[in-house]
Amino acid sequence: MINMSDHHSDDNFLFYKYVMKKRGYEVIFTGGVLPASEVFEIQKIKSFRYLLVNSGSFDFDNKKFEYFSNIAKSHSIRKIIFTDYPGSFERKASDRIVITRDPGDFISKLSHIK
């Protein structure tokens, strides 16, 4: 599991890291936003199946969801979990994308992620 966050949401990400570790996941916390190229380099060194992205720090549109879906497919990532997603989400996301709005929603959806 890799966590990517900005400095404004580190408190929630530290909580997410704790929850993941408590459930037996090995977690790499980057402490900041990484460019995709660095995420791929980490994947080469230490393979991971789940990527957490703080979506509160991004301005999302359909292209960004497609971008992350393609990252998941091309790099054998099972799920990309967007945390603290702002606003509503009207469209169907890829089956590789999980959208959570807050820590409670994260915990609820985490139990269904395999």
Domains of the chain, CATH where assigned: 2-110 (3.40.50.280)
Band of pLDDT at residue 7, cut at 50, 70 and 90: very low
Residues in CB range of 55: below 8 A, 6 or more apart: 82, 83, 84, 85, 86, 99
For residue 106, the model assigns a pLDDT of 92
Is the pLDDT at 108 greater than 90? The verdict is yes
Phi, psi of 81 (to 5 degrees): -105, 115
**Per-residue pLDDT reduced to its tens digit, 72-86:** 777 778 888 888 887
User: Mean pLDDT over residues 16-36, rounded?
Assistant: 82
Is the pLDDT at 110 greater than 60? The verdict is yes
Band of pLDDT at residue 6, cut at 50, 70 and 90: very low
User: Mean pLDDT over residues 11-27, rounded?
Assistant: 86
Six-digit token pair at 18?
């704790």
Phi, psi of 58 (to 5 degrees): -120, 150
Band of pLDDT at residue 22, cut at 50, 70 and 90: very high
Distance CA 78, CA 87 (A): 25
For residue 59, the model assigns a pLDDT of 62
> Mind spelling out the 3-state secondary structure of 17-32?
HHHHHHCCCCCEECCC
User: Mean pLDDT over residues 9-26, rounded?
Assistant: 83
Count of residues making up the chain: 114
HSE-CB at 79 with a 13 A cutoff on CA atoms is: 14
Distance CA 103, CA 88 (A): 16
